[in-house]
Each structure stands twice: as C-alpha cells, then as structure tokens.
Amino acid sequence: MEPTKIREGYLVKKGTVLNTWKVLWVVLADDAIEFYKKKTDRNPKGMIPLKGAALTTPCQDFPKKTLVFKITTTKKQDHFFQATHLEERELWIKDIKRAISCLESGKRFARKSTRRSIRLPESVNLSAVYVLMKDQDTGVKELKVEKEKRLFNHCFAGNTVIDWLVSEGKARNRAEGLMLATGLLTEGFLQAAGDLSKDAAEKGADCAFVDQTDALYYFADSGFFCEGYSSDEDVIMKEEFRGAIVRQGCLLKQGHRRKNWKVRKFILRDDPAYIHYYDPTKGEEDPLGSIHLRGSVITAVEYVPDAKRHEVDGNLFEIITSDEIHYYLQAATVEERKDWIKAIQSVSKTGK
C-alpha cells in the first residue's frame, strides 16, 4: 500500500553535512518525511524514516534560531527543521507526533479534533496559557516602550508576564511563573526584544526568561516592530510595520531582474497595508522588500512570463500595485492561493 501523504510545505532544514540552512519542500507521509530541493522535483534529496524516531520540540541546539524542531532516527541521525511562524510549527509538530505514535501502535494515521480549548488541564498547556495571555481584555497589555535609544512597539516587560501568571493563578509564585514563562519563550510563543532579554535567551540557561522591567518581550504573532534613532533624523518612523499581522507563510516569488523564482517568507499587515518578504533562512530582522497594497489589484493567473522555463506552474497569482508594478507569486496549493488572494484583497481595500 502506498504511503498516505499527510502534510506538505516549505520548511527550512539544516544540512546533514554542511551547517547551512536551506528552504526545502517537505512532505510528511504516514511512515517517513521526504524533502526536495524544489516542489516540482520528482526525486527527493533525502528521506527520514519515522518508525522509532524521536521528536524534540522545542529544540534548543541553536539558541539564535526560533521555531526549530529535531527528529532523531533509530540510527541516531539528527535532522533539524525550522518553521517560519508559530502556527506552522504547531501544525507540523502535531502531525509528526501523531504519525510516530500511529507507527508505534500499529494504527493508521487519523487526525484528532483540531478544536482548541483555553481551559487548562491538570498538566500545563502552554498553548492555552498563550491564548489567555493574548486576550485583549484580561491578558497582558501590549505597550510602546522607549529604551536603549529605540522605540519598541507592541511589547511588554518580563516582570509583567510573571505578574499576570501569578495573578491569574497559572503559577503559585514568581519562581514557578519564571519556569512557565521560560517554557513559553523556548516553545516560541513569546519572543525576546531588546539586548537584555535576547542575551538571556541565547545563553540557553534553564531560566532563559528575565523577570525585570528592562527585559522586553512580544507575542510571536503580534505586530511587533522596533524604531531606531538616526544621526540625521530624531526617529526613523517605520510606519509600514505598524499594522497587525493578518497572514504569514512561504510563497514562491519571481525576481524582477533575473526572472528566477525563489522561496520567500511573506508577512501581510493591515493599516497600513503592506506585505513584506524575507529570506526564510535569515529571520525577520531585515526584509528583502515590501509591497504597498493600498489600491492594488490581486488576481489569480494561469500563466506567467518565463515561469515554464523555471518549472513553475499552477497556483499562481499576481499583485499589481497602484504605481503599476507587477509581482508574480505561487502558492503551494489551490486553497492556499485562494486564502492569500482573499486576505491581500481585504487589506488592500481597508488599509491605508
């Protein structure tokens, strides 16, 4: 019987020989993970058998990289993958765990209910704590904080997180709250902002979270951004980063000059209406570019010039900006293309 394909998409993977991280097309079946250099390749670059494999998440082998998970085979070979955002990692982890469990028990793969409850069970559920923490009325309040000659937007102090955990009964005392906050940080639900919190997180200590007013953090899927000071101007206003994140993920993008296609991570923000794109292997410090979406036209297309030459076909769409610049993108599936077009169209009409 042919293996059942469970999930597929772009992930960043560390090379097994060289220490380079590259974006690959990854396919999870019920008995193995295959990875390809390109989505259109017929033969995989490699295969990871899941029978007897162990999954490690969060993986703290690379303190400067977030959202990494590790799969260790029965032959003690380690394979490291990195997701581009929190929701994506959670979906992959959930399905890989289920696939390994089914292989161990001899059962066929079947997804459990995807409904989430924000009610905490007896053992701490970090996802549930995170949902409660983000509640606009009763959760941790996001603030604008000026520190270290920079302006941090949509962030909060480390001691505020501990205060909230204790006051809401999620931790009995500050020491227990610190351990819980460290779990939220290492699992990728919280991110460090500013030198103090980043230095502590990168040291990889048992308590990587800092319970201080000077240590700043932000929600992984928030609209966080930082404004820096310049010698020429008092403040560099990064207006285009102010909007809340509406959608994020990897897409294939055609370059304007060479017309080649590369995988980029896209983050769509509203009000102001911008979509930024990044090299998925290098994080989100510096975007490669941005598209101002106000007044743009977004449509599905069946043909793109030079696409066939680069073996790019299907699930294509186009963004035409108000100043008539054309951007060609490819989603992984028909459904994903539909969702991206719908989200971008909405932002282009309502955002500034």
| Domains observed in the chain | 5-105 (2.30.29.30), 124-227 (1.10.10.10), 239-350 (2.30.29.30)
pLDDT recorded at residue 253 = 94
- pLDDT at position 238 is 60
Residue 72 has what pLDDT?
A: 95
Q: Convert the pLDDT of each residue in 314-324 to its tens digit.
A: 899 999 999 99
Looking at residue 177, its pLDDT comes to 92
pLDDT at 252: 94
Element (DSSP H or E) covering residue 29 = strand 21-29
- How deeply is 121 buried, as exposed, middle or buried, from its count of CB atoms within 10 A (0-12, 13-18, 19+)? exposed
Tokens standing for 330? Answer: 């490819």
* pTM for this entry: 0.72
- Torsion over CA: 127, 82, 70, 46 (sign): positive
Give the Cα separation of 305 and 314 in Å (integer): 13
For the chain of 352 residues, list the mean pLDDT of each consecutive stretch of 10.
Answer: 80 88 94 92 92 89 87 94 90 92 80 39 72 91 80 88 94 91 86 85 74 90 63 45 84 89 92 90 83 93 75 88 93 93 92 68
pLDDT of residue 148: 66
Write down the pLDDT at residue 87.
85
Q: What is the pLDDT of residues 36-68, one digit of tens each?
A: 999 888 899 999 999 999 999 878 888 788 889
| Beta strand extents in 234-325 (DSSP E only) | 245-254, 261-269, 274-278, 289-292, 297-301, 316-320
Task: Give the pLDDT of residue 200.
Answer: 84
pLDDT tens per residue across span 262-304: 999 999 988 788 999 999 998 777 789 999 999 999 999 988 8
Residue-level pLDDT at 2:
58
